[in-house]
Amino acid sequence: MTEKKAIDFKKYVKWFWGLLLGGVFAVCFLFFLASVGMFGELPTFEELENPENNLATEIISSDGKTIGKYAHENRTPIKYKDLPENLIQALVATEDERYYDHSGIDFRGTARAFLKPGSGGASTITQQLAKMLFTKRASKNIFKRVLQKMKEWVVAVKLERQYTKQEILAMYLNKYDFLNQAVGIRSAARIYFGKEPRELEMHESAMLVGMLKNSSYFNPLRRKELVLNRRNVVLFQMNRNDIITNEQKDSIQKIPLSLNYTPESHSDGLATYFREYTRNFLKKWVKDNPKPSGELYNIYRDGLKIYVTIDSRMQRYAEEAMKEHMANLQKYFFNEQKRNKTAPFYDIEKEDMRKILVRARNNSDRYKRLKAAGKSSKEIEKVFNTKTEMRVFTWKGDRDTTMTPYDSIRYYKHFLRSGLVSVEPQTGHVKAWVGGINHKHFKYDAVKQQKRQVGSTFKPFVYATAINQLKKSPCDKLPNTLYTIPKEKYGMEDDWTPKNSDGEYGGELTLKKALAGSVNVITARLIDEVSPINVARLAKSAGITTDFQANPSIALGSIDLSLLEMTSAYSTFANKGMRVAPMFITQIEDKNGTVLDTFVPETKEVVSEESAYVVLNLMEGVTQGGSGTRLRTHWNRPKFITGYPYKFTNAIAGKTGTTQNQSDGWFMGVVPNLATGVWTGGEDRSTHFAGLKMGQGASMSLPTWAIYMRKCYEDKSLNISKADFEEPSDLSINVDCSKHEEKKKEGEEGEGTPQDDDF
């Protein structure tokens, strides 16, 4: 009996070892089959060498800040050395305590998970990376899921052989999707905390590591309490692994989430209009600059680096200045429209108003979707007259409301638009570009895309032609009387007799006072003296690229030009008469840092250094005795003028401009190393202030310029000049009108009475 039991026991032992060894052999055989691709294709050596894909293209400012990205997946990988130690410690302590002791598979963790379900996940960080990089979504079929798991193990082992532990950690954090367009640790740090990863504090790192369990569930924008608790679990794990003390854990757990949510969508962040312009430029650039293989670069996944001329500090100041002034200006415009029966339009017939609304309807995304769906005109009209829930723009933030699509069109027509652009005259670098008040709701770019009537801001080109061609002095005088140019002289349909906007005439004015007062009749005399064709030639040479007919009326700015054209042309005067074409991009690199293209601006001489200086001297008169004097002195300003008094004491050459019916308000301001232009007006020319007090360029645009420049001056790191414009050493044209009057008086006294022998 005892012998039989012994025989049975030996049989069971043999069966046990047979099953165990057979199981081990079967598992090894399955791993072998998985490794040779019998259960599906595995990543190649090249794919393991280059697992990074779908890399966002970065737009990097002149001061080294990332101001935007182009991406299907907003991911910008960083190196291990750029990760803070507290982040790595939190990650390993929470996700894989034995990370540095295994080679991709944690057999202890796997055994624990198998023998004690619910005790914790068995996947190592390397396995999780393998799953993210090379495995599709987990199958619900148990058999397929087991095969997927085997493939993950094989890939994990390959990753461990191919990369260092540090590289794997960096790849894992670079790949994980933290939601809200934050793919990868760099995007997550920037979007949730507004900082680079290396700047993360321990409680911030702990929150991001906590999200790794399930970012959809632990979403800090939706479940703050849940995320806070999860963050504290991470801190507990760090304490458990002797990374932080009990006191540190207890102290840090008391800190709130402290989110600084900074979204990075195409309509959020800095320089949205500039980024859109750059995107369109890059779409053309990639076609002309293919890869060596002939394949085109993809700006959404190839991780290009676009180095641009925009300065992130100046861009921020420009956007802040516009928001500060325009939000306040809009209040007064809304109040005025309460008394306007055809709000927000003036001087317009009902039929014309209907056409404006229909045109806006036809350009809307809603209309295009309905058209694409095959809806009839009657059905579309019904939709646009039916109230619906929508989210609309306000200066206090987007607001949920209910209105018809037609009502929303009219609502948005009430908003005044504005644009600002700054150019460095010596380099042509565009330093700030604000194309509108809000890119999400108003996408039309007022810097380059839009062209509006420029009004009196064109007059300096007339004066510049007279100075460069005839050596005119700012002190020369012309009669302030009506002046007619006959139609035959320039092939016009009628004689041209412009009038002064203030209706005042009489006596003589110096050119400096005439420009400061924007006197139309003197500008008309000047353009007739030098001829419109020469004025047009100088303006185009200075940077005006739009074609226009050279007739006398251009003297008063009857032509439509872009804000960028005007600002770039004005910068020519600050660069001693040398035109430097505006420049947006300095260099393009691939993801490895290889330079793909560099950019150098075109330059040309437009006027002499002397002429450029005299023009600046003339325009200084605008800020010393004309409509721009409000930059310096106290005045009885309307309440909607913000940031006053400005108290500028430095040299500023400027010119205001206001078009007919106050449809457009301009201010162009130049200091030695910066030219900045601002335009303000309605989307439609019939949308404007009723009167000149509020509707002129000095009220609509000058304040934005002043607030912006004050911010720039306060930031000493920008080195915006407060110096005088540099006077040429060989200046022969008199710019000191007090001396001019003295010399003239001396000359008159020395003439005496003519004697007989004088004839």
Q: Is the pLDDT of residue 105 over 80?
A: no
Task: Please give the residue that has the higher pLDDT: either 432 or 171.
Answer: 432
- For residue range 285-321, list pLDDT tens digits in order: 999 999 999 999 999 889 999 999 999 999 999 999 9
Q: What angle do CA 492, 497, 498 make, to 5 degrees?
A: 115
Which of 152-161, 190-199, 364-373 bottoms out in mean pLDDT, i.e. has the lowest?
A: 152-161
Q: Is the pLDDT of residue 635 over 80?
A: no
Q: 257: which residues sit within 8 A by CB, 6+ positions away?
A: 207, 220, 224, 227, 228, 231
**The pLDDT value given to residue 490:** 93
From 558, 587, 616, the end of a domain falls on 558
- Same domain (yes/no): 247, 193: yes
Confidence of residue 45 (pLDDT cuts 50, 70, 90): very low
Which of 77-81, 209-213, 302-306, 527-531 bottoms out in mean pLDDT, i.e. has the lowest?
A: 77-81
- Same domain (yes/no): 392, 496: no
**The pLDDT value given to residue 77:** 81
Q: Is residue 117 part of a domain?
A: yes
Q: Where are the beta strands (DSSP E) in 448-591?
A: 452-453, 477-479, 508-510, 560-561, 578-580, 585-589
Cβ 270 vs Cβ 319: under 8 Å: yes
Confidence of residue 757 (pLDDT cuts 50, 70, 90): very low
Tell me the average pLDDT of the chain: 87
- Same domain (yes/no): 107, 171: yes
Q: Is the pLDDT of residue 22 over 80?
A: no
Q: Is residue 546 part of a domain?
A: yes
Q: Is the pLDDT of residue 120 over 90?
A: no
- For residue range 341-375, list pLDDT tens digits in order: 999 999 899 999 999 999 999 999 899 999 899 99
Confidence of residue 741 (pLDDT cuts 50, 70, 90): low
* Encoded amino acid at 444, one letter: Y
Q: Which residue has the tokens 């009669």?
A: 479
- For residue range 466-495, list pLDDT tens digits in order: 999 999 999 999 999 999 999 999 999 999
- Same domain (yes/no): 93, 149: yes
**Mean pLDDT, residues 173-178 taken together:** 90
* Adjacent-strand bridge partners of 587: 307, 598
**The pLDDT value given to residue 262:** 79
- For residue range 438-471, list pLDDT tens digits in order: 998 999 999 999 999 999 999 999 999 999 999 9
- Same domain (yes/no): 409, 494: no
- Same domain (yes/no): 407, 469: no
**Mean pLDDT, residues 523-529 taken together:** 97
Coil, helix or strand at residue 294: coil
Query: What letter would DSSP give residue 621?
Result: H
Q: What CATH number corresponds to the domain at position 86?
A: 1.10.3810.10
Q: Is the pLDDT of residue 126 over 90?
A: no
Cβ 413 vs Cβ 356: under 8 Å: yes
Q: Is residue 120 part of a domain?
A: yes
From 263, 290, 305, the end of a domain falls on 263
- Same domain (yes/no): 383, 502: no
Confidence of residue 627 (pLDDT cuts 50, 70, 90): confident
Q: What is the 3-class SS of 125-162, one letter each residue?
A: HHHHHHHHHHCCCCCCCHHHHHHHHHHHHHHHHHHHHH
- For residue range 406-423, list pLDDT tens digits in order: 999 999 999 999 999 999
- For residue range 426-440, list pLDDT tens digits in order: 999 999 999 999 998
Percent of the chain with pLDDT over 70: 84
- Among residues 534, 531, 538, which one has the least CA distance to residue 491? 531
How far apart are the C-alpha atoms of 507 and 316, rounded to whole Å? Answer: 47
Q: Is residue 291 part of a domain?
A: no
Q: Is residue 296 part of a domain?
A: no
**Mean pLDDT, residues 197-206 taken together:** 94
Cβ 181 vs Cβ 191: under 8 Å: yes
- Same domain (yes/no): 226, 126: yes
Q: Is residue 338 part of a domain?
A: no
- Same domain (yes/no): 105, 163: yes
From 523, 558, 593, the end of a domain falls on 558
Q: What CATH number corresponds to the domain at position 543?
A: 3.40.710.10
How far apart are the C-alpha atoms of 132 and 152, rounded to whole Å? Answer: 10
Domain residues for 489?
A: 455-558
Q: Is the pLDDT of residue 20 over 70?
A: no
Q: Is residue 666 part of a domain?
A: no
Q: Is residue 547 part of a domain?
A: yes
SS3 content of the chain, % helix, strand, coil (to 5): 50, 10, 40
Confidence of residue 636 (pLDDT cuts 50, 70, 90): low
- Same domain (yes/no): 167, 230: yes
**The pLDDT value given to residue 38:** 46
Which of 34-48, 323-337, 597-611, 693-707 bottoms out in mean pLDDT, i.e. has the lowest?
A: 34-48
- Same domain (yes/no): 462, 403: no
Peptide bond into 344 cis (omega under 30): yes
**Mean pLDDT, residues 607-626 taken together:** 95
Angular region, 561: left φ>0, alpha ψ -120 to 50, beta rest: beta
- For residue range 377-408, list pLDDT tens digits in order: 999 999 999 999 998 999 998 899 999 999 99
Confidence of residue 41 (pLDDT cuts 50, 70, 90): low
Confidence of residue 210 (pLDDT cuts 50, 70, 90): very high
- Same domain (yes/no): 237, 384: no
Number of domains into which the chain is organized: 3
* Adjacent-strand bridge partners of 422: 432, 676
